[in-house]
Structure 1
Amino acid sequence: MALLKSHLLPLLLFSLSALLFLSSFFYLSSPHPNPNPNLTLRPQNPDFTFIIKLLAYNRLDSLSRCLRSLAAADYLSDRVHLHVHIDHFALADADDADRKLRESRRILDLVDAFEWRFGEKLVHYRTANVGLQAQWLEAWWPSSDHEFAFVVEDDLEVSPLYYKFLKNLIVNYYYNASNSRPYIYGASLQRPRFVPGKHGNKLKVDDRTRLFLYQLVGTWGQLLFPKPWKEFRLWYDKHKAKGIKPFLDGMVTTGWYKKIGEKIWTPWFIKFVHTRGYFNIYTNFLHERALSVSHRDAGVNYGKTAGPDSHILDESSLEPKFWNTLPLGDLKWYDFCFREIFPERVIGSLDELGSVLNSVQTNNTVIIVSLFGVKEMVVSNLLCQFESLNLRNYILTGPESEFLFDLARRGHPVIITNRFLESVGAYKLLSVHNSYVQLISEILVKVYVLQKCLESRYSSWVVDGNMLPVSADPFVVESDPSYDFYIGTSPELFFARASSSAQKDVGGTDFISNFAMLVNSLLVRQQSVSFGYVMAKFLEMKKSARVNTLDETSFGLRVDNSIVNQSLGDGKKIVFWPSDMASEIVQKRLQEIDIWVINDDSSCKAIVCHQS
């Protein structure tokens, strides 16, 4: 018996250990609730490569100061690489060659003797002078999507905290899947000081704001994310090879480029960012402090030394919430005019619709723009024209597409028709054949927005994407209280005045269902329908409705396939064309009257700033 116990005891202990191991394994590998639902789980120490790209030329003292500050930073026992790119002096200056050779050798001696204890040190010494643009653009091609470059010019000084701060941003805004976006291209550590859009807003951020997003690239301590940088380099190669210049009217940087040309690289990147709608993370510390400071020593950008632009932020001046990072949805986003935008505004419910209407309305008026059947480049031209005229009181509606989601990402308020109608239960009102569902969806979404506008006491215009405004008040009717509704002679134009009588005519819980019944009835009889046509029929049945006809030719210019060399006369506020007109012909006609305002890549030719 004792012998049997002696054999069973080890087996029992082994079985118990195995049971505990398997229990632990299944607990760890199976999903279980997050104890704090407000905290998004993320990798605490993602495996990535961090490379400092130090760009140097002929400033020995500046370079020495920069290297000392980099070496004094806290790298958290991480492996961090230092790549020093030294530009050559211009060989054309042969008369002064001996002195410049001595200067170059002193810089090389400094870099060679400099001890970098945190990773590999690599020195790239050029054989010819290439300038600042090539120094930036040729310094880095990411070897993977997990390699990051922190670019510093030699007259910079960084805080000992800079790496810890950047790593925190990388973990939270690159590797945290629920809190990252592919249209964020990096982070700038310089103090924000500059608005490149002419006549833009002053760069002012709330004192409580520590992080925000801004389209402008920072050249004084810029962290670059790998994917957007690769995308930019390929975009740059394509445009440079085709002789396309990075001109963007309305930007101060375009004037710089026209003056000094390829000596600078930022106008290229700014044009790319504008085309793609990308953003950069910025810091905002009080009392002119920053994690990266430029001493603005004499060089390409400064004829003579201007001195430090900010004060270094260090441990002694930290705030209690310094390391806190907010969700992207809680941060503010700004464009090149330093105008706040609201990305990813996809309206999914009636409550969200009401909130957006309140935020976009101007003078208690909203424009509902239908993009059904409108080509993307025509839509892009429309939105650029809206921007130039400072028209912001609009909501876009259209079928689900990557293009429409991209417009929402860029800050345009968007209703994805099928998603919105599903959320409000509209499809249960339909009884016709499936082939008509898209047509009815286009009509019904306008009805929902129209009713919500009137409930909120906003007048509303309903237009299609085949109309282009050419004045700041394109859709204005005389303030005649005798009429609540105006129906255009073409079915793409409709106006409802914010009045109690109009709200009574198209309000109430039965309005939508009655309207849908009328649409179904018209389609069963195989009649051609449009929003304007159905609204006219519906209001006819409302004996009390006060309706007038609106002839858009009285204030608009019609273009078509046959007419050329037209001009905009006095009093013309819109240009419109048949909905079935080919987009290439639309482009040609609008070019003839100088209101085609996009480039070949469908981005706006100009930045037009309007102060808030």
Structure 2
Amino acid sequence: MVGPKRHFLPLVLISLAAFIFYTFNHFSLSPAIAESNHRSTFPHPIPTLIHPNFNFVINVLAFNRLASLSRCLRSLAAADYLGDRVHLHLHIDHFASSDNASTVDPKLREARQILEFVDAFDWKFGEKVVHYRTGNVGLQAQWLEAWWPTSDHEFAFVVEDDLELSSLYYEFVKTVILNFYYNASNYSPSIFGVSLQRARFVPGKHGNKIQLDDKTTLFLYQLVGTWGQILFPKPWKEFRLWYDENKAKGNKPFLEGMVSTGWYKKLGERIWTPWFIKFIQSRGYFNIYTNLLHERALSVSHRDAGVNYGKTAGPDSTLVEKRYMDFNILEMQPLSSLKWFDFCFREVHPGKVVTNLEELGWLLHYRQKRDSVFLVNLFGVSDAIARNLLCHFERLNIRNYILMGPPSDSLFDLARRGHPVINVDQFLSSVGLYKLTSEGSNSETIKGILAKIYVIKKCIENKYSTWVMDGNMLLTSDLFSESENPNDDFFVANNFELFYAKSSSSSEKIWVDGFVSQIVAEVESLSGKDTEAHYRLSFVYIVKKLLEQKGARIGKVDESSLATKVGSGNASESFRGDKKLVYWSTEMELDSIRKWFKELNLWSIDNDLSCTAVVCHKS
């Protein structure tokens, strides 16, 4: 019987290895962008291992507040760490040098008392490391130099010494990391961390008040939280490199319209948050926050006297110590159901990529209930021009817009940041027009025309008027809000690709009653010809021609008073304040456009292609 056992032994070993591999991978998920609607569920209690390299480091920032530090460390030691190994790093800043000899001895005694306390403090959950500086570096360096991730699975919890933590905080943090970092169906590269403090501040001037309903227990908000912030490794590394580059080049974290810019102008390099806020704005990142109701939080700042407060202000919130309150704080909603808010505390909707008419209908259904939608064609438009246009949309409070273009990293990045986009290739394939647009030197022009007509039809069906413009235009004020002729259903600019379709019963009758198929047929007939009259293969030319055949009411306007064309002559002389838009030739180079716009004070982005200002409008 020895021989047969030898034959079975390899099979047994292979089966055992396969079982271990399956079990390991079932509970160890790597971060990835969701590709499906699958929602993973996790057992309770929380698994002790969510990744073999998972590492959690608490970084406590201290200076000269022994009573505060003692309270903070006691609260950290009272937390339940679920049997995990958690490391404690204490960063103690040195007192500033002084010419006054009488103050040196008291400062030395104070520093030694703090060092004696932390040396004696028992941390039984992992390593305890003490960093005692040789010179005073201040709060900014304390934060920025506290941590450099050793892997994509190391997470930092940065704690200032006047904080007090709930004993439940680690259970909550680990549950969040499990669900929103390691669960691929809930992961988003836009999330940079988790804040345990209560959201109570809007940094955008004239922004909305923080108002959340009782059912919103988790939400995403752009603002970093300094009173109990968990940092994810990849975004933090990205920030540190971004900070190094901008600091070395002498750039400043100025962001017009933000309270943080005023802080920086007053306190300079004593604080670090204006730098991180500018970084978040340039990258379009968000932070996970809790809404625990009744001014409760998992992390409370006692706001003791220090850099931020001249005198002690007392606790900002009430500390949570019960897992089951009005709800279970460990119950996680799927990422798709969470609300996202920008620096003005306006709700944004990231990841909206339209690929068919049904999705377009849903997008329009959830747009702001206003009369008009702006459809912007981004074919052939650079990232810089697109971003500059969106900054002007923000300034003008134009929130109802849709961007359309070919599939690209830049288009999908705009969607990730919360801008609604149409993937034109998939969109036209869904209506059976892929073959017509797949070949020829004019394929992009044809795609633009066909996508526009289907979007306009859908907008009119959903009772929205529609402005259609190409990316070689820039709005400087509201279009025609005061001069629209109520008797006109359409407006066409003859010299540039600007079109307006009113939501009315007469325009709907024209657009729905076979008009789209007529435009498609016209485009198909022109696309097969090698014509010298290139202007005929133009959205404005084709639509105007067919509308006139149907007897549509088309408005006329003095285009010279409406717009300025840049690229010739003196821009500042030809552009007046009453002009509603500027436009330029599609052949014009980006450097030339940028030069003209800077002269006209219309260039509103920085070197990161992010807006130089945050403009808040009351919702």
Match in the other structure for 1:294: 301
Q: Which residue of structure 2 lines up, in the alignment, with residue 61 of structure 1?
A: 67
Residue 186 (structure 1) aligned to one of 190, 193, 202? 193
- Equivalent position of 1:278 in the other structure: 285
Structure 2 unmatched runs, 5+? 27-36
What's the secondary structure of 1:360's corresponding residue?
coil
In the alignment, which of 540, 546, 561 is matched to residue 532 of structure 1? 540
How far residue 42 of structure 1 moved from its aligned partner, in angstroms, is 6.9
Deviation string, structure 1 residues 367-394 (Cα, Å, up to 9, x no partner): 1111111121111111001001101121
- Which SS does the other structure have where 2:254 is aligned? coil
Q: Which residue in the other structure is 2:29 paired with?
A: none
SS in 1 for 2:313: coil
Structure 2: distance between partners of 1:71 and 1:345: 43
Q: CA deviation at 1:486?
A: 1.8
Q: Distance in 2 between matches of 1:63 and 1:483?
A: 71
Aligned counterpart for 1:239 among listed residues 235, 240, 246: 246
Q: Deviations over 1:444-495 (max 9, x none)?
A: 0001001111212221111111211112x22447443543222112241111
**What CA deviation, in whole Å up to 9, does each residue of 1:404-459 have, x standing for no partner?**
1111111111101101112232225x288443332211110001001111212221
Question: How far, CA to CA, are the matches of 2:525 and 2:494 in structure 1?
Answer: 23
Judge conservation of contact 1:75–1:164 (CA < 8 Å) in 2.
yes
Q: Does 1:470 align with 2:476?
A: yes
Which deviations, in whole Å up to 9, do the C-alpha atoms of 1:12-46 show, x marking residues without a partner? 999699689859958985999xxxx9642679422
1:70 corresponds to 2:93: no
Query: Paired residue for 1:4?
Result: none
Q: State the distance in 2 between where 1:394 and 1:98 align.
A: 65
In 1, the alpha carbon distance for the partners of 2:78 and 2:99 equals 37
Given the alignment of the two structures, is residue 303 of structure 1 paired with residue 307 of structure 2, yes or no? no
8 Å CA contact 1:159, 1:312 repeated in 2: yes
Aligned match of 2:40: 40
Distance 1:432 1:181 in 2: 32
Distance 1:319 1:21, change over 3 A: farther
For structure 1, the residue ranges without an aligned partner over 5 or more in a row are 1-6
Please show how residues 425-574 of structure 1 align to structure 2 within 5 Å: 425-428=432-435, 430=436, 433-471=439-477, 473-476=478-481, 478-508=483-513, 510-527=514-531, 528=534, 529-542=537-550, 544-566=551-573, 568-574=575-581
Counterpart Cα distance in 1 of 2:438 and 2:332 = 51
Q: Is the 8 A contact 1:361 1:394 kept in 2?
A: no
Tell me which residue corresponds to 2:88: 82
Of residues 400-409 and 547-556 in structure 1, the stretch that sits farther from structure 2 once superposed is 547-556
Aligned to 1:337: 344
Letter matched to residue 448 of structure 1: Y
The answer as to whether partners of 2:39 and 2:334 remain within 8 angstroms in 1 is no
- Say if 1:65 and 1:515 are closer, same or farther in 2 by CA, change over 3 A: same
Query: Is 1:266 the counterpart of 2:273 in the alignment?
Result: yes
Inter-CA distance 517–255: structure 2 relative to 1 (3 Å threshold):
same
Instruction: Give me the whole-angstrom Cα distance separating, in 2, the residues matched to 1:86 and 1:361.
Output: 50
SS of the equivalent of 2:198 reads coil
CA distance in 2, matches of 1:581, 1:431: 25
Partner of 2:31: none
Alpha-carbon displacement from aligned partner over 1:536-580 (angstroms, at most 9, x marks no partner): 2322433x3233444432222222233343364353211222222
Residue range with higher mean Cα deviation, 216-225 or 575-584:
575-584
1:320 is displaced (CA, Å) by 4.2
Q: How does 1:209-224 map to 2 (within 5 A)?
A: 209-224=216-231
Match of 2:55 among 49, 59, 80: 49
TM-score by length of 2: 0.91
- Aligned residue for 2:552, secondary structure, equals coil
How far does residue 93 in structure 1 lie from its aligned partner after superposition? Answer: 4.9
Which amino acid in the other structure matches residue 253 of structure 1?
S
Structure 1 counterpart of 2:261: 254
For residue 3 of structure 1, what is the aligned residue in structure 2?
A: none
Q: Normalising by structure 1, report the TM-score.
A: 0.92
Structure 1 CA distance for aligned equivalents of residues 201 and 481 of structure 2: 38
Secondary structure at the counterpart of residue 606 of structure 1: coil
Q: How many residues align?
A: 597
Note the 1:78-227 alignment, pairs <5 A.
Answer: 78-95=84-101, 96-227=103-234
- Alignment partner, residue 607 of structure 1: 614
Change (3 A) 1:93 1:84: farther
Is the contact made by 1:487 and 1:536 (CA closer than 8 Å) also made in structure 2? yes
SS of the residue corresponding to residue 190 of structure 1 reads strand
3-state SS of 1:407 partner: helix
1:381 aligns with 2:388: yes
Deviation readout 1:200-257 (Å, 9 max, x if unpaired): 0001111121110000000011000011000000000001011101000111111011
- Secondary structure in 2 matching 1:201: coil
User: Is contact 1:55–1:84 with CA below 8 Å preserved after alignment?
Assistant: yes
Alpha-carbon distance in structure 2 between the residues aligned to 1:431 and 1:394: 24
Q: Is the 8 A contact 2:485 2:555 kept in 1?
A: no
**RMSD over aligned Cα, in angstroms?**
2.5
Give the 3-state SS of the residue equivalent to 1:309 in structure 2.
coil
Alpha-carbon distance between aligned partners in 1 of 2:485 and 2:121, rounded to the nearest angstrom: 80
Q: Which whole-Å CA distance do the structure 1 matches of 2:312 and 2:90 have between them? A: 23
Separation in 1 of the partners of 2:539 and 2:184?
41
The letter for the 2-side match of 1:474 is: L
Q: Give the partner amino acid of 1:40.
A: S
Please state whether the residue corresponding to 1:157 is helix, strand or coil: strand
Q: Deviations over 1:81-130 (max 9, x none)?
A: 00000000001254200000000000000000001100000000000000
Displacement, 1:581? Answer: 1.7
- Structure-2 change in CA distance of 1:130 and 1:583 (3 Å): same
